[in-house]
Amino acid sequence: MVDLSIVIVNYNARHFLQICLDALQSALRGINAETIIIDNQSTDDSVSYIKTHYPWVIFIENPENDGFGKANNLGFSLAKGKYILILNPDTIVQQNTLLRSLRMLKEDPKAGAVGVRMLDGSGYFLPESKRGLPTPKVAFFKAFGFARLFPRSKYFARYYVGNIRADRVSEVEVLAGAYMMVKKEVLDRCGGFDEDFFMYGEDIDLSYRITQLGYKNIYDGKVPIIHFKGESAGRDAVWAKHFYGAMHLFSEKHFSSGGRFFNTTINAGIRLRKKLSMRKKTEAKTSELIKLNLVVLSNKKQKLEGQFYHQFKSVMHQKPGEFIDLKANALLFMPDVDNSFMIKNIKKYRGKMQYFFAAADGSFVMTSPNSVLQGELFEVC
């Protein structure tokens, strides 16, 4: 019997999906698992490439883009595992991530779902890894900056449960749908995602319904993963409209008495978010490669030839575990580098380095400067 079913919804994210699947292959060793990809009518080469290069994946072509929730529900209906992992294509998991989450669910009969600590492509913690319910009051404090002003407050920062440290294991109200492992029996009782949520909010709604059934949502801050947050959705006014719209839908569904107040908060929050996001877009700039001293981390000697490498100020090879050159301000992780080592160093040098990630087939390298701007893709030739 299949122990774990991994469900990934893809939309024009072939390069991220490729690196995600490469990491999964290592993490799935010793687990009886299946990986199901639902493609939401991608217009890139996701369909042909993944079908050809990853034959171990169950690949379903959705005839139309039905949204995140509905596509996941299709994957759930096909899943044979006792546990289901909802996973974004723009993620990189460690070798022990899945085994640890499985163990937590198996050992605690009251645990309904498990989430993990997520870092963006620059190594910074993503606060949406752990959240509280977005009640009208909680949403107000977030929309108007109180949560940012008092990030550790149990009262003002409840949206991101700022009183719980990022590296702790704790019960929380809401887990992120980018990585959420759920018991199949619990998911069946919940009925999967509410398909009224097209984009954003599905995970909040599902998390809430899991707790309503008497189960716990467990946040595991001990095992971080990478989530290229800026790649899957631009953090702009359009994002704000979809995000806060989902919060409004959630409030109307579960807290109808606060609908008018919440709607006022939503509209004001969208206007504020638009101003802030425009400022961020102006301030954030991608580093020019010619200014970077690149260290290529790999267990075997690499041929550092081709146009990609020639763009840097300097390039040198090092084996993982060796002392990183003090002049370095960019790291390239080759596919043979252990993901635990990679994530450890992304955290260690955050703010000091720019990170690059190589595909297992050697065809491309990608980078994610931060969670505001989208990263760049470089063909290796």
Tell me, what's the pLDDT at 145?
Answer: 80
Tell me, what's the pLDDT at 275?
Answer: 55
**Mean pLDDT by 10-residue block, N- to C-terminus, for the chain (381 residues)?**
95 93 94 97 94 96 88 96 97 96 97 97 93 82 82 88 95 96 96 75 90 97 88 49 60 58 55 51 56 94 86 93 86 94 92 91 81 72 64
Tell me, what's the pLDDT at 162?
Answer: 92
Tell me, what's the pLDDT at 17?
Answer: 95
Q: How far apart are CA 72 and CA 121, in angstroms?
A: 24
- Among 1.10.1040.10, 3.90.550.10, 3.40.605.10, 3.30.450.90, name the CATH number for the domain at 4-130+173-233: 3.90.550.10
Tell me, what's the pLDDT at 29?
Answer: 92
The domain spans of the chain are: 4-130+173-233, 134-159+234-283, 289-379
Tell me, what's the pLDDT at 338?
Answer: 93
The token duo for 338 is: 């252990």
